[in-house]
Chain A
């Protein structure tokens, strides 16, 4: 069965520092992988997606993620965090459709001055 684990429930970083949010997945086939961001009281916005090809994926807002098959991971990174990046981040894995998509429980990012 497919599943997604986001090991960190909360992460705090200083503004300007680098960021890495972890995501590990379990999936029987080649996965489709996604990262979404959710600001308080808002819906989810797609940051980036991986379907195939280059394992380093660039997304919006300066985010990138790297697919590592050997580690079953799809970690999200940003070189320099801005205060506006404070939000909840969700990793998702599965087929390219909502009914077959598994979401992690999310990582809440706090950015300090």
Chain B
């Protein structure tokens, strides 16, 4: 069965520092991959999605970027973190006719 690995599980970073969150998947090939952010009281916000290697679509312009260097790897990055980047970041995947499947998330606190 398909599995999503996200790390780290928690992260505390100072304002202005860089960020790299990694998401890797197992048990499936050619998935669509997604980065969502969940902030308190605001539900889930889609940040980026990718339908293939090197193909990234951004839903919300902001301080973050994403890359997909391999079919099963999706990376969320920032050159300089802002306080407003704090939140719970969720990686997800789907396949044709298959519902969205989520990883366990990374809790990011920017101090």
Contacts and interface: CB of A to CB of B under 8 A. Distances in A.
Interface of A: 34, 36, 41-46, 49, 90, 92, 96-99, 101, 103-106
A77 to B, nearest CB: 20
A98 B100 contact: yes
A23 B44 CA distance: 16
Contacts of B87: none
B42 A98 contact: no
Nearest to B48: A99
Nearest to B101: A46
Given A96-B97, A99-B57, A99-B59, A44 B90 contact: yes
A43 B37 CA distance: 11
Interface residues of B, number: 27
Given A45-B102, A49-B99, A104-B43, A99 B107 contact: no
Given A43-B104, A43-B105, A44-B90, A96 B43 contact: no
B103 interface: yes
Nearest to A32: B99
Contacts of A42: 104-105
Interface of B: 4, 6, 32, 34, 41-44, 46, 49, 57, 59, 90, 92-94, 96-105, 107
Nearest to B10: A41
A98 B30 CA distance: 14
A96 B105 contact: no
Contacts of A46: 99-101
A97 B104 contact: no
B44 A103 contact: yes
A16 B12 CA distance: 40
A48 to B, nearest CB: 9
